[in-house]
Amino acid sequence: MEQQNFRVKLSLGTKLVLSLSLLFLTIVGFLSYSAVKLVITDKEAYTYQLLSMEAYIAGQDFSEKVRPAVDNLRLYLTTFDPRLPINATQTENLKNLVKTQQEAGLFVSYLVKADGTVTLLTKDANEEVLIKSGITAEQVVVDPPTLLRLRSKLIESGFAFETLLKSGMTPVLIIAFGDTGLKDYEKGMPVALNFIDARTLISHKGQGEITIASADGKFLASTELNRLFGGSDATGDPIFQGASTAKIGSGTREFEIGGKAFLGSFRKLPLGPIVLTQLEKRKAVAAAYTMGERLTLLGIISIIAAILFAVVFSGSITKPLKLLTIATAAVAKGDFSVKSKVKTSDEVGALAFSFDIMSKKIQELIVDSVQKAHLQEELKVAAAVQESLIPPPEYRDEEFEIIGSYQSASECGGDWWGFFRIKNKLCVMIADATGHGVPSALITASARSCFSVLAKLAQEKPFFRLSPGEMMSYTNRVVFDAAMTKIMMTFFIGVIDLETKTITYANAGHNPPWLFRKTGEKYQLKSLMPKGNRVGEVEDSGNYEEMAAPIDEGDILVLYTDGLMENKNVEGEQYGKKRVKEVVEGALSGGPRGVIDALKVAYMKFNGPVKTLDDDVTLASIRIHKMPVV
C-alpha cells in the first residue's frame, strides 16, 4: 500500500480558537449593527418630528409678526385717498398709526405705474422701533425695479414679501400691500410698504437650520444670516423643491447637499412663504455612532475572553483526536490491527469505537470493491455487446432510407430494433422487454439471435416466406423458453413489399408505429394498432394476427418504444403522446433524419440536462424514396 505523508498546516486547537473568535465577532458585530441601525432609525424619526415642530413654531412666529403688519398696511393705505391731496387730519392719523407699531418702524406709500414710474406719497417712521432694529429711515430705500416687481405680485395676491439687503445694514423684510382696486389708476397703483428687522422673524433657535422663503424662492429670514447675503435663492434647495411640488402643507424627507446627507422638513404658511428646516444627518445620529464605538470596544473584550477560553480548554478536546490521528496513520500504512487508546465518553470516544470496528472491516471492503470493479467491467462488456446487436444508425439504398437511434437508461437496456432486406421486401422489427438492465438485455439478445436465424432462412430457403405472424410466433417461443414468463416483450414486426406496395405487420402489444401516407404536400397518419399478447407471455401463442396497409413512395414509417412517451421531467410530468405527435408532424418535411433528430432534441430538452432517463428510448424512421419499376 502506497504511503502518503500528510502535513497538518492548521491544528484543531488553532481552528477552535479561530472559530470561537469568529463566532463572538459575528455575534457582537450583528448585535452592534442591529443596535446602531435601530438607534439611527429611531433618531431619524425623532429628528423628523423635531424638525417638523421647529418648522411649525417658526411659521407661527413669522405669522404672528407679519400678519399684524399686513393688517396695519391695509389700514394705513385706507386712511387717505391717494387720488386726492392729504389733509392735516389724515397726516396726523398716519403718524399715530405708525407710533403704535412694535415691529415695523417705517411705513411708506407710493404710486407705481406699470411702466416703472414711481411717485412717493407718504413716509412715516417710528424712531424708537428703528433704533431698536439698528436701522435708519434714510437707509431704507426701495428702488423702482423692486417696486415694479412688488406691483406684479400684489396684483396676484394683494400682499407680497421681499428682502432688503445692503452691506453693513441690518437685513430687513419688506411687507407690501396694494390697492388692487386702483391698479388701473392713471397715476399708478397705490402700494404701501413697511419694514421689519428680519433677524427677529425667527425667535426659536432649534437644533437645525431654519429658513423662511417666499413662494418663488426668495430668502426672507434665516437662522444662518449668510444665506440671506449669499446672493442665491432657495430654488436650488432640495427640500424647497420638494415643498414646491408637494400637494400637502407639510412634510419631511432626506436629501443630499455637497456629498453630505441632511434631514429636512417644510411647512407652507397661509400667507404664502414656506418654512424650511434642515439638520445634517451625521449630527442627528451622533449618539448612534457613539453607541457603535462602545459596542465595538465590548466586542474586542469579548473576543479576547473567547481566545483565552479556547486556549484553556482546547487541550482537553484535541488530545483524544491526536491519539485517533496516530491510529489512523497506522491504518494508512496497512496495519489494520491497531487499536485507538481513546477512553473518553463523548463523541470523540464514540468515533474511536467506530474506528476500531472500521479497521476490522476494511479488508472485507477492499475485497468487495475489487469484486464490484470486476462486475463493472463485465457490465461494460455486456453493454458493448448489446450495442453490437443494434443496427447502424443510418442505412440507405436505392429504395429505402432508414435512420435509427438507441439510448439506454442504464448500462444494459431492454430495447431492441433491427431490419433486414430480402429482394424487394424489407423486414423491420422493434421490441421492448419489461424493465431494463442485464436480465432484459439477455432476453433482447435471444430475440436478436432468433431474427438472425429467420433472416438466414429467408435468404437461403425459397420456401420460407416473410410472414410477420409466423415470425412473431417463433419469437414468442424463444422468449418464453429463455425467460419463463419472468420477462416479456412487446414486439412489432412489419414487412414492406415494394411489388405489392403494402406493409404487412403483426403487433404483440407494442406501441402502435405511425405510418404517414404522403398525399401531395401533406401527410395522413395511420396507426398500426396491436393485436395479440406480448411475446413470452404464454408458451403457445399460435400465429399472431396479421394486418396490412398500403404504402407508397414518399411515405414515412415511425417506430418507437414506450420510454419516449412515458419519460418524466424533474417535475414528474410525462412527455406524452401529444408532444411526440406534434414533434414528428413538424419534422416530416426533413425525412427520417429530420424526424429522429427532432425527437431526440425535444425529449432530451424536456427530460433536462441533469436527470437520467426513466427507461430506454429507441427510435427508427423509414422512408420509401423510390419504388422499383415492375
Q: For 170-201, write each residue's pLDDT tens digit.
A: 888 889 999 998 989 999 999 999 888 888 88
**494, 502, 512, 499: which is closest to 549 by C-alpha?**
502
pLDDT value of position 495: 96
Distance from the Cα of residue 372 to its chain's centroid: 46
Distance from the Cα of residue 162 to its chain's centroid: 53
Q: Given a cut of 70, is residue 69 above it in pLDDT?
A: yes
More confident residue, 590 or 625: 590
User: How many Cβ atoms sit within 10 Å of the Cβ of residue 310?
Assistant: 19
Q: Given a cut of 60, is residue 241 above it in pLDDT?
A: yes
Taking only the tens place, the pLDDT of each residue in 277-334 is 888 888 877 776 777 677 777 777 877 876 777 666 666 666 776 776 776 767 666 6
- What's the CA dihedral at 49, 50, 53, 55 to 10 degrees? -110
Mean pLDDT of 511-535: 92
Share of the chain above pLDDT 90, in %: 31
User: How many Cβ atoms sit within 10 Å of the Cβ of residue 57?
Assistant: 18
Per-residue confidence at 359, pLDDT binned at 50, 70, 90? low
pLDDT value of position 2: 47
Mean pLDDT of 9-19: 68
pLDDT value of position 371: 53
Q: Given a cut of 70, is residue 23 above it in pLDDT?
A: yes
pLDDT value of position 488: 93
Q: Given a cut of 80, is residue 419 above it in pLDDT?
A: yes
Of 142-151, 229-238, 275-284, the one with minimum mean pLDDT is 229-238
C-alpha–C-alpha distance, residues 54 and 223, integer Å: 12
Of 44-53, 68-77, 357-366, the one with minimum mean pLDDT is 357-366
Tell me if residue 611 falls in helix, strand or coil: coil
pLDDT value of position 1: 42
pLDDT value of position 604: 92
Per-residue confidence at 370, pLDDT binned at 50, 70, 90? very low
pLDDT value of position 8: 59
Mean pLDDT of 220-224: 84
Mean pLDDT of 455-479: 88
Of 242-251, 295-304, 426-435, 472-481, the one with minimum mean pLDDT is 295-304
pLDDT value of position 348: 66
Cα-based distances in Å from 270 to 152, 244, 607: 20, 14, 71
Q: What is the largest CA-CA distance in the chain?
A: 151
The sign of the torsion formed by the CA atoms of 200, 202, 205, 210 equals negative
Mean pLDDT of 82-105: 89
Cell 437520467 sits on residue: 612
The H-or-E segment that residue 296 falls in is helix 286-332
pLDDT value of position 44: 78
Mean pLDDT of 445-466: 86
Mean pLDDT of 358-386: 56
Q: In what order do the strands lie in the sheet with 556-560?
A: 394-396, 400-407, 617-624, 556-560, 514-519, 522-527
pTM value?
0.46
**247, 272, 274, 275: which is closest to 158 by C-alpha?**
272
Q: How many helices (H) and strands (E) does the chain have?
A: 14, 21
C-alpha–C-alpha distance, residues 542 and 544, integer Å: 6
C-alpha–C-alpha distance, residues 383 and 273, integer Å: 91
Per-residue confidence at 602, pLDDT binned at 50, 70, 90? very high
| Contact criterion met (CB below 8 Å) for 52 and 265 | yes
Q: Given a cut of 60, is residue 608 above it in pLDDT?
A: yes
Per-residue confidence at 523, pLDDT binned at 50, 70, 90? very high
Share of the chain above pLDDT 70, in %: 85
Q: How many CA atoms does the CB half-sphere of 583 hold within 13 Å?
A: 24
Per-residue confidence at 336, pLDDT binned at 50, 70, 90? low
User: How many Cβ atoms sit within 10 Å of the Cβ of residue 128?
Assistant: 12
pLDDT value of position 545: 93
Mean pLDDT of 511-530: 92
pLDDT value of position 316: 65
Q: Given a cut of 50, is residue 3 above it in pLDDT?
A: no
| Contact criterion met (CB below 8 Å) for 441 and 616 | no
Q: Of 44-53, 334-343, 442-451, where does the model show the most confidence?
A: 442-451
CATH of 390-624, one of 1.25.10.10, 3.60.40.10, 3.40.50.720, 3.40.50.2000: 3.60.40.10
Residue-range domain boundaries for the chain: 34-286, 336-378, 390-624
C-alpha–C-alpha distance, residues 126 and 77, integer Å: 17
Tell me if residue 164 falls in helix, strand or coil: strand
Cα-based distances in Å from 26 to 18, 31, 32: 12, 8, 10
Cα-based distances in Å from 533 to 116, 475, 482, 490, 558: 114, 12, 17, 8, 22
pLDDT value of position 365: 60
> Is 442 exposed, middle or buried (CB count within 10 Å of its CB: 0-12, 13-18, 19+)?
middle
C-alpha–C-alpha distance, residues 265 and 253, integer Å: 7
φ/ψ of residue 72, rounded to 5: -65, -35
Per-residue confidence at 18, pLDDT binned at 50, 70, 90? confident
More confident residue, 588 or 4: 588
| Mean pLDDT of the chain, nearest integer | 84
Mean pLDDT of 568-593: 93
Q: Given a cut of 90, is residue 524 above it in pLDDT?
A: yes
pLDDT value of position 434: 86
pLDDT value of position 372: 56
**376, 377, 387, 519: which is closest to 441 by C-alpha?**
387
pLDDT value of position 186: 92
Q: Given a cut of 60, is residue 384 above it in pLDDT?
A: no
C-alpha–C-alpha distance, residues 630 and 399, integer Å: 13
pLDDT value of position 363: 56
Q: In what order do the strands lie in the sheet with 547-550?
A: 415-422, 425-433, 489-497, 502-508, 547-550
Q: Given a cut of 50, is residue 474 above it in pLDDT?
A: yes
Mean pLDDT of 604-614: 88
| Contact criterion met (CB below 8 Å) for 194 and 104 | yes
| Contact criterion met (CB below 8 Å) for 524 and 538 | no
The sign of the torsion formed by the CA atoms of 423, 425, 427, 428 equals positive
